[in-house]
Structure 1
Amino acid sequence: MKQTIYELAANSDKTLLVQRQFDATPEMVWKAWTDSEILAEWWAPTPFKAITKSMDFREGGRWHYYMLGPDGSKFWCMVDYLTIDLMKKFTARDFFCDEEGNKNNELPGMHWENVFTAVDNGTKVSVTVTFNSKEDLDKIVSMGFKEGFAMAHENLDKVLAEDSK
């Protein structure tokens, strides 16, 4: 099993670096991160499901979705796409919100930079997640970010294995 690697950035106590290698082409991995139908198959940690309300993957576009819990609870999120370098990298800002997209200021938002690099036997995804403060990073980590993201990556492994058949 592949391992998701987390570390704090060397020059910041509010930036988390995440790396993960996938056994699929950069094109397949890119599509899995940018197509709402494929995102729905892996983004949420098991047993949650990601349900897209709307998605417009372009600079200035957004993804509005919720994570559906096994008890029926919904955790709404919004992703604002900032920059896109096709098949190589995209940046985004995300935050918790309500069904109408109104920001929940009680929970921290994050800035993401996602870089996709071809490597032997697959693709490395390097994610830099930056928070407004160390306290915000600590809060998201205490909410299970690391465990949840690692589970989502395992889900993505399964999706990519199915797609490559």
Structure 2
Amino acid sequence: MSGDFATLRFERQVSAPVATLWQAWTAPAARAIWAAPTSAVTVEFLQSEPRVGGRELSICKASGQPDVRCEAGWLELQPHFRSVNYEVISSQGVTQSSALVTAAFSEAGAMCKLEVTVQLSALAAGMEAGYRQGFGAGLDNLAGVAERTMVLQRVIRAPRQVVWGAWMNPETLPKWWGPDGFSCRTKRIDLRAGGEWVFDMIAPDGTVFPNHHRYGEVLAGQRFGYSLLWGEDGPKHADAWATFEDADGATLVTLGMVFATTTEFNEAKGFGAIELGLQTLGKLARFVGAD
């Protein structure tokens, strides 16, 4: 079958730090939020490894249409600067297209700029138009997600498995979780994929903040994703993830949160969520004896 070739270019100005946009672009939990071009489409991620040589596999579903399979692989990842990946689209066992996707990130004053180039080889009719529409809508979604994403990082001077063990252990997590002066009162805790943590955070003045964390993917020693609810089975206010990376004998911990709305993001930022979150990571460091 003969194919058609096209080079597609997209550009977005995003009101977020470039480091935050990078997390929204690469973190599996964030990609799952913005990947679907419209609400009529769902994207199920079966595998996602955001590392050079890592593979991503997803299924795109729309009512009345055959499922579309996307297999992608990361070829280059230069944090906050550039990524390159390939992707192959197929449906009902037949390859529809292949593409090389290059994304470039740069600061642009108070904004940051994302430039995406797609070198497309289309084997089925309509793929170029589909890419223009799908990528365009996905990047619009990405910009919205990045603008309500909060990213916290800390290097903790302890081995990765020690830091992971202090976090993903039902006996130890409640002992350090929360900002300075806060304590936790657990109702139920199960930190496996599909598990949950139902608990109250208690402020120094005695104010009780009911919380419910629902855990999705858990990749031992590397990352996990979870949803944050306002109280048991309450409304969701954020999707979050944590990653753990080796850093010269220490551990780089990244905690990311995509708030449900821009209003909630601004409210959280306004009451000091960044500072309080960094206090929480500081308590983790002290708990493992690294501070």
TM-score (norm 2): 0.49
Match of 1:32, SS state, is: helix
Q: List runs of 5+ in structure 1 lacking aligned partners.
A: 1-6
Other-structure match for 1:141: 269
Query: What does 1:10-29 correspond to in 2, within 5 Å?
Result: 10=21, 11=143, 12-29=146-163
Q: Which has the larger radius of gyration?
A: 2
Q: As a proportion of its length, which structure holds more strand?
A: 2
**Separation in 1 of the partners of 2:148 and 2:203?**
28
Which residue does 1:161 correspond to in 2?
Answer: 289
Q: Is the 8 A contact 2:152 2:277 kept in 1?
A: no
Aligned-partner Cα distance in 1 for 2:184–2:251: 23
Q: How does 1:109-124 map to 2 (within 5 A)?
A: 109-124=237-252
Greater RCO, CA 8 A, separation 6+: 1
Looking at structure 2, the residues matched to 152 and 15 of structure 1 have their Cα atoms a distance apart, in angstroms, of: 18
Distance (Å, rounded) in 1 between the aligned partners of 2:157 and 2:248: 9
Q: d(CA) in 1 for partners of 2:255 and 2:180?
A: 21
> By how many angstroms is 1:76 displaced?
0.8
How many angstroms does 1:71 deviate by? 2.8
Shift of residue 145 of structure 1?
1.1
Shift of the alpha carbon at 1:27? Answer: 0.9
CA RMSD, aligned part only?
1.9
Q: Please give the alpha-carbon distance, in whole angstroms, between the structure 2 residues aligned to 1:51 and 1:124.
A: 28
Please state whether the residue corresponding to 2:288 is helix, strand or coil. helix
Q: Cα deviation per residue 1:82-123 (whole Å; 9 max; x = unaligned)?
A: 1111111101001221xxx141x4xx6111121111111311
Judge conservation of contact 1:41–1:155 (CA < 8 Å) in 2. no
Check 1:57–1:135 CA distance in 2 against 1; reply closer, same or farther (3 A cut): same
1:9 paired with 2:20, answer yes
Match of 1:58 among 182, 186, 192: 192
- Contact 1:42-1:155 at 8 Å conserved across structures: yes
Structure 1 residue 84 corresponds to structure 2 residue 95? no
1:160 Cα offset (Å)? 0.7
Runs ≥4 residues deviating over 4 A: none
Deviations 1:45-93 (A, max 9, x none): 1211122211111111101111112232211100000111111110100
How high is the sequence identity, in percent, across the aligned residues? 24
TM-score (norm 1): 0.83
How many positions carry a matched residue from both structures?
151
Q: Distance in 2 between matches of 1:63 and 1:146?
A: 22
Letter in 2 for 1:26: R
